[in-house]
A and B are shown apart, each in its own frame.
Chain A
């Protein structure tokens, strides 16, 4: 892997973000909207039961961590989509760039984008609702790492689907995350879900991350058992997504699907 190529891809992605105002919606606008929305809901419900600050904290911790997952996924998936939208895929495929270098470049850029998005939601939560995500301590670190891995895994599956079926699959960039939002119990325990959905929720690594985060918000120590389950699930998801993407890339090359992108 050549660092020069990785940096080149990251720089190319940064130009796009700089010159496409609509991309700032994902990075700035949605984090602000989500922080205000869920912070206000938490305060309102808390006022009904006399625990406003605690309720808001649960929701805001959930939404801040959700944005780690969201930004990780969306920056990688839309980074690839940008190449299909601008019909640049063939240009890249006929250079020495390897798939790994391309992915590393987009992830490198995505980490910067993620830092902005998560900072925005965190700052708004602190400024408007006095919720400081860092007060949860170092226990956040493994949770963030697991969410990053799951976000990237989801993005790799989305990219694989786009390679396989074309741009019609791009809606899944947002669709998969929209599915994970309720199913991962971001704001509530799995027991709050309908009984038929609970096994599905429990199979998701993200569910265990958010359960662990709620434990931290409640002042309990980090439940390492749940973190372990989440980490194992994230590793499985990552391996499966790499396997799937590799297969789809082989299909893409074998069936000449580049013709859809020129």
Chain B
């Protein structure tokens, strides 16, 4: 991907599920190597937005371009440069970790599958899990393996949905460290959803807040907090969760 090509460019996304307008005209872009958090209270439209960006859910309106490839027509080509992991996804029961990772190395078209798997396990310091069955892992180990899977092919864009939800602080710390190394070494852009605002402030240089399916703030964490008159992102989050935002008047982008 040339430097100038954005990792992600989505315009005017709309998604309606029966009577619920889950996403209501979202514009979102992530630059090459940029680390962006997609935040908002439950029901704000984060996961629906992520699923549309990954081509799993078809938007009713709007356009999506991933690493310079237009969805849905070029989804397969785009996904060769995109990784995804979610804290809630299990590993298939009847596969060892090594077999699971090898499967995805092949799906990503890697020619050095076994080596890529070994590198990925080493990056997150979980080499000892290679021959453990997927259903024998703790939730923290599962999350780590999921992130290894998502970064095997050194993607240009890594999308993470609640990567550290329900993790012990030490495992969450290890996940963040691995992600930071991955982004720094490979120039990977990051789009992450999380309810852990401290994690977001540490990992991301830009936050996009959603409320009721709309973008209500977009900018560096400190500027977004200042825009809402709060000390930090947690204050903004609580403000939005309590319905404090008027999406219309607050829709002015901070940056």
Check B103–A12 contact: CB distance below 8 A: yes
How far is A248 from B92 in the complex, measured between Cα atoms in Å?
24
How far is A82 from B134 in the complex, measured between Cα atoms in Å?
15
Residue with the greatest number of chain A CB neighbours at <10 A, chosen from B15, B80, B106: B106
- Check if A97 is an interface residue, CB within 8 A of chain B: yes
Residue with the greatest number of chain A CB neighbours at <10 A, chosen from B55, B56, B102: B56
Check A95–B17 contact: CB distance below 8 A: no
How far is A96 from B58 in the complex, measured between Cα atoms in Å?
17
Check B89–A86 contact: CB distance below 8 A: no
- Check if B141 is an interface residue, CB within 8 A of chain A: no
How far is A82 from B95 in the complex, measured between Cα atoms in Å?
12
- Check if A88 is an interface residue, CB within 8 A of chain B: yes
Check B57–A258 contact: CB distance below 8 A: yes
Q: Closest approach, in angstroms, between the C-beta of B126 and any C-beta of chain A?
A: 18
Check B56–A88 contact: CB distance below 8 A: no
Within residues 93 to 138 of chain A, which ones have a CB less than 8 A from any CB in chain B? 93-98
- Check if A49 is an interface residue, CB within 8 A of chain B: no
Check B89–A95 contact: CB distance below 8 A: no
Q: Closest approach, in angstroms, between the C-beta of B18 and any C-beta of chain A?
A: 9
Check B109–A4 contact: CB distance below 8 A: yes
- Check if A220 is an interface residue, CB within 8 A of chain B: no
How far is A16 from B134 in the complex, measured between Cα atoms in Å?
12
Q: Count of B residues near A, CB < 8 Å?
A: 33
How far is A91 from B102 in the complex, measured between Cα atoms in Å?
14
Q: What are the interface flags for A77-99 relative to B under an 8 Å C-beta threshold, 1 for contact and 0 otherwise?
A: 00000100011101111111110
Check A96–B77 contact: CB distance below 8 A: yes
Q: Which residues of chain A are within 8 angstroms of B109 by Cβ–Cβ distance?
A: 2, 4-5, 96
Q: Which residues of chain A are within 8 angstroms of B76 by Cβ–Cβ distance?
A: 96-98
Q: What are the interface flags for B97-129 relative to A under an 8 Å C-beta threshold, 1 for contact and 0 otherwise?
A: 001001110111100000000000000000000
Q: Which of A16, A90, A256, A258 contacts B17 (CB 8 A)?
A: A256
Q: Which residues of chain A are within 8 angstroms of B57 by Cβ–Cβ distance?
A: 253-254, 256, 258
Q: Which residues of chain B are within 8 angstroms of A19 by Cβ–Cβ distance?
A: 94
Residue with the greatest number of chain B CB neighbours at <10 A, chosen from A12, A93, A94, A96: A94
Q: Which residues of chain B are within 8 angstroms of A258 by Cβ–Cβ distance?
A: 51, 56-57
Interface residues on chain A, size class: 20 to 34
Within residues 1 to 39 of chain B, which ones have a CB less than 8 A from any CB in chain A? 15, 17
Among residues of A, the one whose C-beta sits closest to the C-beta of B110 is A4
Check B88–A250 contact: CB distance below 8 A: no
- Check if A179 is an interface residue, CB within 8 A of chain B: no
Check A86–B48 contact: CB distance below 8 A: no
How far is A254 from B17 in the complex, measured between Cα atoms in Å?
9
Check A8–B89 contact: CB distance below 8 A: no
Check A15–B56 contact: CB distance below 8 A: no
- Check if A7 is an interface residue, CB within 8 A of chain B: yes
Q: Which of B79, B92, B102 contacts A94 (CB 8 A)?
A: B79
Q: Closest approach, in angstroms, between the C-beta of A97 and any C-beta of chain B?
A: 5
Q: Closest approach, in angstroms, between the C-beta of A253 and any C-beta of chain B?
A: 4
Q: Closest approach, in angstroms, between the C-beta of B163 and any C-beta of chain A?
A: 14
How far is A49 from B248 in the complex, measured between Cα atoms in Å?
87
Among residues of A, the one whose C-beta sits closest to the C-beta of B80 is A96
Check B103–A8 contact: CB distance below 8 A: yes
Q: Which residues of chain B are within 8 angstroms of A15 by Cβ–Cβ distance?
A: 94-95, 99
Q: Which residues of chain A are within 8 angstroms of B237 by Cβ–Cβ distance?
A: none
Contacts A94-B82, A96-B76 given; 19 further ones with Cβ under 8 A? Answer: A4-B109, A7-B106, A8-B106, A11-B103, A15-B99, A16-B92, A18-B94, A19-B94, A86-B90, A91-B89, A91-B104, A91-B149, A94-B55, A94-B159, A95-B107, A98-B76, A253-B55, A253-B58, A256-B17
24 A/B residue pairs, CB under 8 Å, sorted by A:
A4-B109, A5-B106, A11-B103, A12-B95, A12-B103, A82-B92, A87-B89, A90-B86, A91-B149, A93-B54, A93-B55, A93-B56, A94-B55, A94-B56, A94-B82, A95-B104, A96-B79, A96-B109, A253-B55, A255-B17, A256-B17, A258-B51, A262-B86, A262-B89
